[in-house]
Amino acid sequence: MVRKLDHEKAIALRMTGKSYNEIAKDLGVWKSSLSYWLRNMELPRQAAKILEKKSNYPKEKFAEYNKLKHERVIIENKEIKEAFSNRIKSISDYDLLLIGAALYWGEGYKNFKGGSQYISFSNSDPDMVILFMRFLREILGVPDEKINANVQIHTNVSKEKAVSFWSKIVDIPKNRFHTFAQVSRASNGKRPKNLLPYGTLNLRVASRKRFHEIMGLIDGLIKRT
Protein backbone atom coordinates (compact mmCIF):
# COMPACT_ATOMS: atom_id res chain seq x y z
CA MET A 1 0.00 0.00 0.00
CA VAL A 2 2.85 2.38 0.89
CA ARG A 3 4.55 1.62 -2.42
CA LYS A 4 1.34 2.34 -4.33
CA LEU A 5 0.91 5.67 -2.52
CA ASP A 6 4.52 6.60 -3.34
CA HIS A 7 3.88 5.73 -6.96
CA GLU A 8 0.79 7.97 -7.09
CA LYS A 9 2.61 10.82 -5.30
CA ALA A 10 5.53 10.49 -7.72
CA ILE A 11 3.19 10.88 -10.69
CA ALA A 12 1.55 13.93 -9.13
CA LEU A 13 4.92 15.57 -8.43
CA ARG A 14 6.19 14.79 -11.92
CA MET A 15 3.10 16.48 -13.40
CA THR A 16 4.16 19.68 -11.65
CA GLY A 17 7.62 19.63 -13.23
CA LYS A 18 9.64 17.99 -10.46
CA SER A 19 12.88 16.24 -11.45
CA TYR A 20 13.72 12.66 -10.44
CA ASN A 21 16.21 14.00 -7.86
CA GLU A 22 13.58 16.28 -6.33
CA ILE A 23 10.95 13.54 -6.18
CA ALA A 24 13.40 11.01 -4.74
CA LYS A 25 14.33 13.48 -2.01
CA ASP A 26 10.69 14.39 -1.21
CA LEU A 27 9.46 10.80 -1.06
CA GLY A 28 12.58 8.99 0.10
CA VAL A 29 12.51 6.50 -2.81
CA TRP A 30 15.19 5.25 -5.21
CA LYS A 31 15.61 7.02 -8.58
CA SER A 32 15.57 3.57 -10.19
CA SER A 33 12.02 3.12 -8.88
CA LEU A 34 11.02 6.46 -10.35
CA SER A 35 12.53 5.52 -13.70
CA TYR A 36 10.36 2.40 -13.73
CA TRP A 37 7.18 4.08 -12.52
CA LEU A 38 7.40 7.11 -14.80
CA ARG A 39 9.04 5.60 -17.88
CA ASN A 40 5.94 5.86 -20.14
CA MET A 41 4.49 9.00 -18.62
CA GLU A 42 3.52 11.80 -21.00
CA LEU A 43 4.28 15.19 -19.49
CA PRO A 44 2.02 18.26 -19.78
CA ARG A 45 3.62 21.07 -21.77
CA GLN A 46 3.99 23.30 -18.70
CA ALA A 47 5.77 20.56 -16.74
CA ALA A 48 8.08 19.91 -19.68
CA LYS A 49 9.01 23.59 -19.86
CA ILE A 50 9.85 23.63 -16.16
CA LEU A 51 12.09 20.58 -16.52
CA GLU A 52 13.81 21.99 -19.60
CA LYS A 53 15.06 24.89 -17.49
CA LYS A 54 16.65 22.57 -14.96
CA SER A 55 20.28 21.72 -15.63
CA ASN A 56 19.80 18.02 -14.96
CA TYR A 57 17.09 17.66 -17.57
CA PRO A 58 18.47 18.95 -20.90
CA LYS A 59 16.25 19.97 -23.78
CA GLU A 60 17.90 17.40 -26.02
CA LYS A 61 16.45 14.59 -23.93
CA PHE A 62 12.94 15.85 -24.63
CA ALA A 63 13.66 16.20 -28.33
CA GLU A 64 14.96 12.63 -28.57
CA TYR A 65 12.02 11.28 -26.56
CA ASN A 66 9.49 13.11 -28.72
CA LYS A 67 11.21 11.93 -31.88
CA LEU A 68 11.11 8.29 -30.79
CA LYS A 69 7.51 8.63 -29.65
CA HIS A 70 6.53 10.19 -32.99
CA GLU A 71 8.20 7.34 -34.90
CA ARG A 72 6.39 4.74 -32.76
CA VAL A 73 3.07 6.45 -33.39
CA ILE A 74 3.63 6.48 -37.17
CA ILE A 75 4.40 2.76 -37.16
CA GLU A 76 1.42 1.99 -34.94
CA ASN A 77 -0.93 4.06 -37.11
CA LYS A 78 0.24 2.20 -40.21
CA GLU A 79 -0.30 -1.19 -38.56
CA ILE A 80 -3.79 -0.23 -37.40
CA LYS A 81 -4.74 1.06 -40.83
CA GLU A 82 -3.49 -2.08 -42.59
CA ALA A 83 -5.25 -4.37 -40.12
CA PHE A 84 -8.61 -2.68 -40.58
CA SER A 85 -8.13 -2.32 -44.34
CA ASN A 86 -7.81 -6.11 -44.55
CA ARG A 87 -11.16 -6.48 -42.80
CA ILE A 88 -12.92 -5.17 -45.92
CA LYS A 89 -13.60 -7.99 -48.35
CA SER A 90 -15.12 -7.80 -51.84
CA ILE A 91 -18.16 -5.51 -52.00
CA SER A 92 -21.42 -7.30 -52.82
CA ASP A 93 -24.41 -5.66 -54.52
CA TYR A 94 -26.11 -5.40 -51.14
CA ASP A 95 -23.02 -3.76 -49.64
CA LEU A 96 -22.95 -1.27 -52.53
CA LEU A 97 -26.65 -0.54 -52.03
CA LEU A 98 -26.02 0.35 -48.38
CA ILE A 99 -22.88 2.34 -49.18
CA GLY A 100 -24.62 4.36 -51.89
CA ALA A 101 -27.59 5.14 -49.66
CA ALA A 102 -25.30 6.20 -46.80
CA LEU A 103 -23.20 8.38 -49.10
CA TYR A 104 -26.26 10.18 -50.42
CA TRP A 105 -27.61 10.52 -46.89
CA GLY A 106 -24.45 12.39 -45.94
CA GLU A 107 -23.50 14.20 -49.16
CA GLY A 108 -26.62 14.34 -51.35
CA TYR A 109 -29.23 17.09 -51.66
CA LYS A 110 -32.51 16.03 -50.10
CA ASN A 111 -34.49 19.09 -49.01
CA PHE A 112 -36.66 19.84 -52.01
CA LYS A 113 -39.51 22.13 -50.97
CA GLY A 114 -41.29 22.19 -54.28
CA GLY A 115 -40.84 21.78 -58.02
CA SER A 116 -38.93 18.95 -59.65
CA GLN A 117 -36.94 16.47 -57.59
CA TYR A 118 -33.70 14.89 -58.76
CA ILE A 119 -30.48 13.25 -57.56
CA SER A 120 -27.76 15.76 -56.69
CA PHE A 121 -24.52 14.50 -55.13
CA SER A 122 -21.43 16.66 -54.55
CA ASN A 123 -17.95 15.82 -53.28
CA SER A 124 -14.28 16.53 -53.90
CA ASP A 125 -12.98 13.08 -52.92
CA PRO A 126 -12.34 11.03 -56.10
CA ASP A 127 -12.62 7.66 -54.34
CA MET A 128 -15.98 8.58 -52.83
CA VAL A 129 -17.22 9.77 -56.21
CA ILE A 130 -16.14 6.48 -57.82
CA LEU A 131 -18.14 4.50 -55.24
CA PHE A 132 -21.23 6.64 -55.77
CA MET A 133 -20.93 6.27 -59.55
CA ARG A 134 -20.91 2.49 -59.08
CA PHE A 135 -24.06 2.83 -56.99
CA LEU A 136 -25.79 4.85 -59.72
CA ARG A 137 -24.77 2.48 -62.50
CA GLU A 138 -24.87 -0.94 -60.84
CA ILE A 139 -27.62 -0.58 -58.24
CA LEU A 140 -30.00 2.05 -59.64
CA GLY A 141 -29.26 1.17 -63.25
CA VAL A 142 -28.85 4.79 -64.34
CA PRO A 143 -27.46 5.00 -67.91
CA ASP A 144 -24.47 7.29 -68.44
CA GLU A 145 -26.37 9.61 -70.77
CA LYS A 146 -28.72 10.46 -67.89
CA ILE A 147 -25.87 11.55 -65.60
CA ASN A 148 -24.96 15.25 -65.74
CA ALA A 149 -21.59 16.34 -64.40
CA ASN A 150 -20.86 19.82 -63.07
CA VAL A 151 -17.62 21.09 -61.57
CA GLN A 152 -17.57 23.94 -59.08
CA ILE A 153 -14.18 25.67 -59.15
CA HIS A 154 -12.53 28.62 -57.47
CA THR A 155 -10.50 31.24 -59.32
CA ASN A 156 -7.23 29.42 -58.53
CA VAL A 157 -8.38 26.23 -60.33
CA SER A 158 -7.78 25.52 -64.02
CA LYS A 159 -11.08 24.76 -65.75
CA GLU A 160 -9.43 22.48 -68.33
CA LYS A 161 -7.46 20.48 -65.74
CA ALA A 162 -10.51 20.09 -63.49
CA VAL A 163 -12.75 18.80 -66.28
CA SER A 164 -10.03 16.46 -67.58
CA PHE A 165 -9.45 15.06 -64.08
CA TRP A 166 -13.11 14.37 -63.26
CA SER A 167 -13.82 13.05 -66.76
CA LYS A 168 -11.30 10.26 -66.15
CA ILE A 169 -12.64 9.59 -62.64
CA VAL A 170 -16.29 9.12 -63.66
CA ASP A 171 -15.65 7.96 -67.25
CA ILE A 172 -17.89 10.60 -68.79
CA PRO A 173 -16.81 12.59 -71.92
CA LYS A 174 -15.48 16.11 -71.34
CA ASN A 175 -18.17 17.64 -73.56
CA ARG A 176 -20.78 16.48 -71.04
CA PHE A 177 -19.30 18.67 -68.29
CA HIS A 178 -20.28 22.14 -67.15
CA THR A 179 -18.17 24.35 -64.88
CA PHE A 180 -19.26 27.01 -62.42
CA ALA A 181 -17.01 29.60 -60.81
CA GLN A 182 -17.43 29.67 -57.05
CA VAL A 183 -16.15 32.88 -55.50
CA SER A 184 -16.27 33.71 -51.80
CA ARG A 185 -15.49 37.28 -50.73
CA ALA A 186 -14.31 36.04 -47.35
CA SER A 187 -11.69 33.74 -48.89
CA ASN A 188 -10.75 35.92 -51.86
CA GLY A 189 -6.96 36.10 -52.07
CA LYS A 190 -6.57 33.92 -48.98
CA ARG A 191 -7.36 30.46 -50.36
CA PRO A 192 -4.31 28.17 -50.66
CA LYS A 193 -3.63 27.16 -54.26
CA ASN A 194 -3.39 23.48 -53.36
CA LEU A 195 -6.84 23.40 -51.70
CA LEU A 196 -9.34 21.50 -53.88
CA PRO A 197 -7.01 21.56 -56.93
CA TYR A 198 -9.76 20.08 -59.13
CA GLY A 199 -12.76 21.74 -57.54
CA THR A 200 -15.87 19.90 -56.37
CA LEU A 201 -17.80 17.53 -58.62
CA ASN A 202 -21.60 17.58 -58.66
CA LEU A 203 -23.45 14.64 -60.18
CA ARG A 204 -27.09 15.08 -61.17
CA VAL A 205 -29.69 12.66 -62.44
CA ALA A 206 -32.99 14.23 -63.50
CA SER A 207 -35.23 11.46 -62.21
CA ARG A 208 -37.88 11.87 -59.54
CA LYS A 209 -38.29 8.08 -59.27
CA ARG A 210 -34.59 7.43 -58.77
CA PHE A 211 -34.44 10.19 -56.15
CA HIS A 212 -37.25 8.57 -54.17
CA GLU A 213 -35.62 5.16 -54.51
CA ILE A 214 -32.59 6.57 -52.68
CA MET A 215 -34.79 8.29 -50.11
CA GLY A 216 -36.51 4.96 -49.53
CA LEU A 217 -33.15 3.29 -48.91
CA ILE A 218 -32.21 6.02 -46.45
CA ASP A 219 -35.56 5.58 -44.71
CA GLY A 220 -34.83 1.86 -44.44
CA LEU A 221 -31.47 2.60 -42.82
CA ILE A 222 -33.13 4.94 -40.33
CA LYS A 223 -35.74 2.36 -39.37
CA ARG A 224 -33.05 -0.20 -38.63
CA THR A 225 -30.74 1.94 -36.54
User: Under a CB-based contact definition with an 8 Å cutoff, are residues 151 and 201 in contact?
Assistant: yes
**Ordered strands of the 177-181 beta sheet:** 119-123, 200-205, 147-153, 177-181
Whole-angstrom Cα distance, residue 181 to residue 153? 5
Say whether 74 sits in a helix, a strand or coil.
helix
pLDDT in tens, 117-163: 999 999 999 999 999 999 999 999 999 999 999 999 887 788 999 99
Q: Which has more confidence, 111 or 185?
A: 111
Range of lowest pLDDT (32-41, 98-107, 182-191, 206-215): 182-191
- Note the pTM of the prediction, 2 decimals: 0.68
The percent helix, strand, coil of the chain (3-state, each to 5) is 55, 10, 35
pLDDT in tens, 54-110: 755 556 666 777 888 889 999 999 999 999 999 999 999 999 999 999 999 999 999
- Domain ranges in the chain? 2-85, 93-223
User: Under a CB-based contact definition with an 8 Å cutoff, are residues 174 and 167 in contact?
Assistant: yes
Which has the closest alpha carbon to 38: 21, 59, 52, 50?
21
Q: Is the pLDDT of residue 113 over 90?
A: no
